[in-house]
Structure 1
Amino acid sequence: MDPTATILDLHQLRRSCGSCALHELCLPGGITAEELIQLDATVRDKRTLDRGDTLYREGDSFGALYVVRSGSLKTFVQDEDGQMQILGFHLPGEIVGVDALASDRHMSQAEALERSSICELPYTRLQKVVAEVPALNRQLMRIISREVVEEHRHMVVMGKQPAQERLAIFLASLADRYNRLQRDGTRLTLTMSRSDIANYLGLVVETVSRVFTRMEEIGVLEVNRKAVRILQPEQLASLCGMNSRPDLQRKDAS
């Protein structure tokens, strides 16, 4: 027996979809070993971005979709005067780059909020795989649909006048996404700046800081710089008009 046959390629193992902690989020249930090998052959080696690094810029030609494997990103557009409008914040398991599907050019820019790892899915190769693995195509559409829902939620937030309601919805949404990652949805780490949050919500920084302080004073939150602990999930849900939502129930943090 060839002794080299038993040697593990650790690099391949680290980049394998089957060994990734996001397996349940990105892949359909029941995917076969053969289908997994097909997908692994499609995914390029992970790309690592440091804080502030750009994944793609507005106007870049489209060649791939990207899955956030670790860390977080923000997407935004800028006008001719350099004024920025943040479109979204993206956590592990979420896809970025779908803005280019219609025109074959990116309509926004994606930038790392912290050191992040990205799985690159070359679109031409991905199309071939999803044609052969229908379940993967459905899963991909489900993930993209989730991104669209998040954009719609943002539009709803922007239409809400009270600043407190905007921030409450933002934190509730972030808690939902933490729960999906099997993280404690009552303990959030805000990798984005207060300025970024204010921009995203259509507020000024001073207003965001004031609302955080107000939520602390009424006992909803505990804030320590970028660490936010949701002390009263039910009251936070009430602040954004979602007091019956089961996905914002407090987890045992002990």
Structure 2
Amino acid sequence: MPEIRPLQVHHLKSACSSCSVLELCLPIGMTGEEVERLDTLIVQRFKVKKGAALYRTGDPLRSLYAVRIGSFKTCVVSVDGREQVTGFHIPGEMLGLDAISADAHACTAFALEDSEVCPIHFAQLEKLAQTLPSLQHNLNRLLSREIVRDHSMLMLMGNMNSDERLAAFLLNLSQRFSIRGYSSKEFVLKMRREEIGSYLGLRLETICRGIAHLRDQGLVEIAGRDVKILDMEGLKQMIAGCHRQPR
């Protein structure tokens, strides 16, 4: 269980219309005038220090949070105190959607590095969405994406062996970085191996063996947290079952 530090906030000016991840976030497909109306809901964005909790399990729903800079992990804690990582979030993605059904957060969100978020007051967002069909559509799209992500995770856990899970995880990150204009073949893991293992339902030693297996097959190079994908097609074929390993 990571140390829970108090949220450290540094207020900044905000403007959706000039944001570098505009096309990936809630305003996608909205007109300039509509984005300006959404701007009014974001009074100020703020920074979250590495290791700090943006919100915790049980906290009441007040805002959704668009990740502008940095990255986060979401997790739940079992009755015996063990942490289960439920997701990793990078710029352009939305945090806090888990709280909509019960008006309280079902997980805790920790910053994996010094990060910055744009808070969007949820009650005001719902009210604005009633007058902006494009905004309501985007909210529905975000919720649908969460459902699809959950389904993908269930398939990952149920149908893939450990090497395939790791390959799928790396490919998923590769695709998400690519969409944001970063390299799809070289990137840095902001999460620890233990956190990857928790997310994939694998032990730390299994993650370490999996990295060695992928390296031995000439698919990836991983040194510390630096990842270099050598054979993108090979990773995809592994997931597709073309080169399945014995279970």
Task: Output the TM-score relative to the length of structure 2.
Answer: 0.89
- Determine the C-alpha separation between the residues in 2 that align with 1:36 and 1:136: 9
The alpha-carbon deviation at position 161 of structure 1 amounts to 4.6
- Determine the C-alpha separation between the residues in 1 that align with 2:124 and 2:86: 28
Specify the code of the residue in structure 1 equivalent to 2:117. Answer: I
Q: Which residue pairs with 1:221 in the alignment? A: 220
Q: Work out whether 1:42 is the aligned partner of 2:9.
A: no
Moved over 6 A (4+): none
Instruction: Report matched runs for 1:208-247 at 5 Å.
Output: 208-241=207-240
Q: Which has the larger radius of gyration?
A: 1
CA contact (8 A) 1:160 1:166 kept: no
CA contact (8 A) 1:172 1:236 kept: yes
- Determine the C-alpha separation between the residues in 2 that align with 1:117 and 1:105: 22
SS state of the match for residue 132, structure 1? coil
- Determine the C-alpha separation between the residues in 1 that align with 2:184 and 2:160: 26
CA contact (8 A) 2:219 2:232 kept: yes
The alpha-carbon deviation at position 224 of structure 1 amounts to 1.7
Specify the code of the residue in structure 1 equivalent to 2:158. Answer: G
CA contact (8 A) 1:94 1:147 kept: no
> Which runs of no fewer than 5 residues in structure 1 stay unpaired?
1-10, 244-254
Greater helix fraction, Structure 1 or Structure 2:
1
CA contact (8 A) 1:44 1:122 kept: no
Q: Which residue pairs with 1:28 in the alignment? A: 28
Deviations 1:14-71 (A, max 9, x none): x110110011112232513x32221111013112111110011111111111111111
Relative to structure 2, which stretch is displaced further, 21-30 or 54-63? 21-30
Deviations 1:94-121 (A, max 9, x none): 1111111111111111111111101101
- Determine the C-alpha separation between the residues in 1 that align with 2:46 and 2:108: 16
Q: Which residue pairs with 1:193 in the alignment? A: 192
CA contact (8 A) 1:58 1:109 kept: yes
Relative to structure 2, which stretch is displaced further, 104-113 or 145-154? 145-154
Specify the code of the residue in structure 1 equivalent to 2:174. Answer: A
Relative to structure 2, which stretch is displaced further, 132-141 or 203-212? 132-141
Q: Which residue pairs with 2:151 in the alignment? A: 152
- Determine the C-alpha separation between the residues in 1 that align with 2:128 and 2:115: 26
Specify the code of the residue in structure 2 equivalent to 1:156. Answer: M
Instruction: Report matched runs for 1:104-115 at 5 Å.
Output: 104-115=103-114
SS state of the match for residue 130, structure 2? helix
CA contact (8 A) 2:65 2:118 kept: yes
Alpha carbons of structure 1 residues 136 and 197: separation in structure 2 relative to 1, 3 Å: same
SS state of the match for residue 37, structure 2? helix
- Determine the C-alpha separation between the residues in 2 that align with 1:152 and 1:99: 15
Deviations 1:192-250 (A, max 9, x none): 1000001111111111011111111111001121110111000010111177xxxxxxx
Q: Which residue pairs with 1:251 in the alignment? A: none
- Determine the C-alpha separation between the residues in 2 that align with 1:175 and 1:143: 20
- Determine the C-alpha separation between the residues in 2 that align with 1:44 and 1:51: 23
Q: Which residue pairs with 2:168 in the alignment? A: 169
- Aligned-pair RMSD on alpha carbons? 1.5
- Determine the C-alpha separation between the residues in 2 that align with 1:30 and 1:114: 30
Specify the code of the residue in structure 2 equivalent to 1:28. Answer: I
Specify the code of the residue in structure 1 equivalent to 2:138. Answer: Q
Alpha carbons of structure 1 residues 20 and 160: separation in structure 2 relative to 1, 3 Å: same
Task: Output the TM-score relative to the length of structure 1.
Answer: 0.86
CA contact (8 A) 2:30 2:135 kept: no
Deviations 1:125-144 (A, max 9, x none): 11122222211221222123
Specify the code of the residue in structure 2 equivalent to 1:52. Answer: G
Alpha carbons of structure 1 residues 84 and 30: separation in structure 2 relative to 1, 3 Å: closer
Specify the code of the residue in structure 2 equivalent to 1:90. Answer: H
The alpha-carbon deviation at position 77 of structure 1 amounts to 0.5
How many matched pairs?
230
SS state of the match for residue 69, structure 1? strand
